Amino acid sequence: MLCRKIPNTRGISLLEVLISMLILAFGILGLAPMIVLSVESNGISRDFTVAAQLAKDKLEAYADVASIPSAPYEESESDVQEGYDRLTYITDCSTDSLIPDDTYKVNVIVSWTDASGMLRSSQLATLVGKD
């Protein structure tokens, strides 16, 4: 019978475990700025979505109304839905020659200050037929 020698196998040393943990920690720390940027971007996206919805709501309100105020018209609303300001302009062909004679142009600008203190705004516009 052949006698085989079993190699002397030793476990992982404490030094190897420590080095592996350091490499893993540096890898995870590299991901931290991405997580912070992702959270900030989600907040900005939420703000733009709310602003677009506020502008769309105002445009739809003017599309459904029987009579629109005479142009030029300006309406300003403050602190709409917790910190958003909404400014509405209505113009017609008397103030803008690019607007057809039988329509009004309704512009809605929604502005707010984001979490970092930067002033932001979003604008939507549509044409509404005169009755």
pLDDT tens per residue, range 71-96: 788 888 888 888 899 999 888 887 77
Backbone angles phi, psi at 70, to 5 degrees: -65, 145
Indicate the domain borders of the chain: 14-129
> What is d(CA 69, CA 46) in angstroms, rounded to the nearest whole number?
32
3 state DSSP class of 80? strand
**Nearest CA among 83, 105, 107 for reference residue 96:** 105
Residue 66 structure tokens: 């029987």
Q: Tell me which amino acid residue 101 is.
A: D
Q: What is the pLDDT of residues 19-62, one digit of tens each?
A: 999 999 988 888 888 888 898 889 889 999 999 999 998 888 88
What global pTM score does this model have?
A: 0.69
